[in-house]
Amino acid sequence: SKMTVKAVKMPCTAPNVYTKVPDGGWGWTIAFAFFFVEALTYGIIKSFGVFFNDLMESFDETNSRISWIISICVFVQTFTAPLSTVLSNRFGHRFVVMAGGVLISTGMVTASFARTVVDMYVTIGVISGLGYCLSFLPTVTILSQYFDKRRSLVTAVASTGECFAVFSFAPAITALKEQIGWRYSLLSVGVLQLSIVICGSLLRPIIIKEQEEVKAQPPEEPTETKYMLENEQTRTSIESIDSGVEITTSPSNVPGNTKAEPKSEEPKEHVQILVENNSTLPEPKTKLLDFSVMRDYSFICYAFFGLFATLGFFAPSLYIIPLSLSLGIGKDHSAYILSAMAIAEVFGRISAGWVLNKKPIRKIYIELICVVLLSVALFAFPFASEFWGLMTCSIFFGFMLGTVAGTHIPLLAEDDVVGIAKMSSAAGVYVFIQSLAGLAGPPLAGVLVDTTQNYSSAFYSCAAGMVLGAVFLSLVRPCKAGLCHRQKPCAEESTVEVVPDLPDDFIEMDIGKAENSGKGCDSV
């Protein structure tokens, strides 16, 4: 029989209980919350480039030292990903995200009063960085649990929050700085980020209780069994005293010499019982963090892809405005370039989600094509020399960045990597490995810029990292296929013949037939 999605109505603070992944329901509210979490986390990080020149002038620091602010922030955000996974499994996603929102707001508000760049390292880098991790990762993890067939499309669309944030925040913050200065502008951003707490309060946990077909076992007491006969077919009705559930078995389970007692008051129907898994059986203890994914070669290759690809995620957004200013482009037009990149990223995320939602399709190969094109976009930036050249490169880069940035974490739930069962732990380990590139990427680009006095070198370093990421991504599927191929013979050797379970009535019937045949032989 076809299994239907059933939600158990509970208070708003209780988990949502379904018989299978709903592909909707409260998941749409989770997607709405994820949209704003993306906008107030990665959207702010990518828009932070509008403060670069102000911070360099206020603190009299070099480009590379200012770059360490976002570098430390990204490092802490990714390095503490396992901690986010552990806390989410222990205290729930809602509490962790709300706590992360408080930390983000506290760090940003405190940073507006900073007097040295070291103060910014602590406030934005450490405090807000930890908050970013606690807010983003649990939200995308629980969103993946609410969707199955639509997971790629919904996650891609919801992740466009950061694109809309960059599109709106970059010009808005630039205009706000002209009116109240960069310190009060940063203070306003910190207060706005406190709304992450509201988004976190919407993250209701989900519980999937699958239904399974079970066979009816007659009770030991014959007095508790009533046999019914209708239309020359014998049926057995068993009233279970323990569970209070009436069960009707198939006619083949009834002995041929059994006398039937008619029972006209009760409805008679064929029943194929579907019983929910109750809490009568002890639930397996959930691991706070499962490091067994590190033994999966396909996941290791995917993690190295994330490590090197991260080099190209943040630096272009941070250096596109300084690059445009170095080419003589005005501040207003520079902000428009960043906004155009954000709009293109929106279309890239939605397009990738739509394509990956098609079946049958090998999603890992689509991701590889997008990464290769993203590398080409990064190599194109140094060849732009005026406004429209940078605008074209930014739009191309933004579109390709959207196809990769919006899908690389949800792809962990695919069977080509680790699968949905280990999604939570894999996401923590994966983002943790990314932390090294998040720490080294922006400062490395800053050092190259200070050494060469040319912002093009920053984009070359990003492109080199993206190319290495594409190499490791191309090895994910072969590693998974090779591992399965080696395990197949072992699985065949361990296959044993399974004798189907037979009901007690069936055995009794056979014994009765044997006895009757034996008597017949004796009489002959």
For the segment 490-514, the average pLDDT, to the nearest whole number, is 47
- Interatomic CA distance for residues 152 and 149, integer angstroms: 8
Compute the average pLDDT of residues 391-407. 85
Q: Across residues 214-220, what is the average pLDDT?
A: 49
pLDDT of residue 331: 74
Sheet with 225-230, strands from edge to edge, namely 225-230, 233-239, 246-249
pLDDT given at position 98: 94
d(CA 134, CA 487): 37
Cβ atoms of 159 and 31 closer than 8 Å: no
pLDDT in tens, 326-347: 888 877 787 788 778 878 888 8
Measured between alpha carbons, how far is 463 from 381 in angstroms, rounded to an integer? 10
Residue 281 has pLDDT above 50, yes or no: no
Amino acid at 435: S
How much is the pLDDT for 274? 43
| CATH code, residues 12-210 | 1.20.1250.20
Q: What is the pLDDT of residue 515?
A: 53
What residues contact 11, with CB distance under 8 A and at least 6 apart?
none
Lowest mean pLDDT among 45-54, 258-267, 330-339, 424-433: 258-267
Q: For position 295, what pLDDT does the model report? A: 75
Q: How far apart are CA 23 and CA 148, in angstroms?
A: 6
pLDDT band at 6 (very low <50, low <70, confident <90, very high): very low
Number of alpha carbons in the 13 Å side-chain half-sphere of residue 38: 26
Spatial contact of 356 and 153, defined as CB atoms under 8 Å apart: yes
16: helix, coil or strand? strand
Residue-wise pLDDT tens digits, 462-495: 888 889 989 988 888 888 777 544 444 444 444 4
Query: What's the pLDDT at 516?
Result: 53
At 244, is the secondary structure helix, strand, or coil?
coil
Share above pLDDT 90 across residues of the chain, in percent, rounded to a whole number: 13
> Where would I find the beta strands (DSSP E) of 173-304?
206-208, 211-213, 225-230, 233-239, 246-249, 274-276
CA distance 346 to 399: 7
**pLDDT value at position 184?**
92
Q: Which strand (E) or helix (H) includes residue 18?
A: strand 16-18
Alpha helices in 159-262 (DSSP H): 161-192, 196-201
**Pair of tokens at residue 18:** 């379904």
Q: What is the pLDDT of residue 233?
A: 45
For residue 12, is pLDDT > 60? Answer: no
Contact 228, 251 (CB under 8 A): no
Buried b (16+ CB within 10 A) or exposed e, 80-107: bbbbbbbbbbeebbbbbbbbbbbbbbbb
Distance CA 337, CA 331 (A): 10
pLDDT at 187: 93
0.85 exceeded by pTM: no
Q: Residue 251: what pLDDT?
A: 45
| Cβ 121 vs Cβ 69: under 8 Å | yes
* Number of C-beta neighbours around residue 309 at 10 A: 26
pLDDT, one tens digit per residue, over 96-116 is 999 999 999 999 999 999 999
Per-residue pLDDT, 120: 92
The pLDDT of residue 80: 83
Write out pLDDT tens, residues 428-438: 778 777 777 76
The count of other CB atoms within 10 Å of the CB of residue 283 is 7
CA distances from 271 to 210, 216, 247, 254 (A): 19, 10, 7, 15
Say whether 235 sits in a helix, a strand or coil.
strand
496: pLDDT strictly greater than 50: no
The yes or no reply on domain 289-487 and CATH 1.20.1250.20 is: yes
Q: Which residue has better confidence, 441 or 504?
A: 441
Asked if the model's pLDDT at residue 244 lies above 80, the reply is: no
Identify the pLDDT of residue 140.
82
Ranges of each domain in the chain? 12-210, 289-487
| Highest mean pLDDT (candidates 14-18, 27-31, 142-146) | 27-31
In 386-475, alpha helices (H): 387-405, 423-452, 456-473
pLDDT at residue 19, rounded to an integer: 63
Residue 131 near residue 101, CB atoms below 8 Å: yes
pLDDT at res. 315: 67
* CA 182/CA 178 separation, integer angstroms: 8
pLDDT in tens, 137-146: 888 888 878 8
The predicted structure's pLDDT at residue 289:
64
How crowded is residue 31: how many other Cβ atoms within 10 Å of its Cβ?
A: 21
Look at residue 438 in the predicted model and tell me its pLDDT: 67
Percentage, residues of the chain above pLDDT 70: 69
Domain 12-210 and domain 289-487, same fold? Reply is yes
Better-predicted residue by pLDDT, 248 or 88: 88
Confidence of residue 506 (pLDDT cuts 50, 70, 90): very low
What pLDDT sits at residue 227? 42
pLDDT at 91 over 80: yes
Q: Of 120, 138, 131, 125, give the one whose Cα is nearest residue 194.
A: 131
Compute, in degrees rounded to 10, the torsion defined by CA atoms 377, 475, 421, 150. 40
Q: What is the chain's mean pLDDT, rounded? A: 74
For residue 122, the tally of other CB atoms under 10 A from its CB is: 16
Residue 8 has pLDDT above 70, yes or no: no
Whether residue 205 has a cis bond before it, omega within 30° of 0: no
Confidence at 237, pLDDT banded by 50, 70, 90: very low
Mean pLDDT confidence for 59-65 = 82
| Per-residue tokens: 278 | 């109750």
Helix axes 456-473, 297-309, angle to 10 degrees: 170
Query: How far is Cα 288 from Cα 185, in angstroms, rounded to an integer?
Result: 39
What average pLDDT score do residues 186-205 get?
91
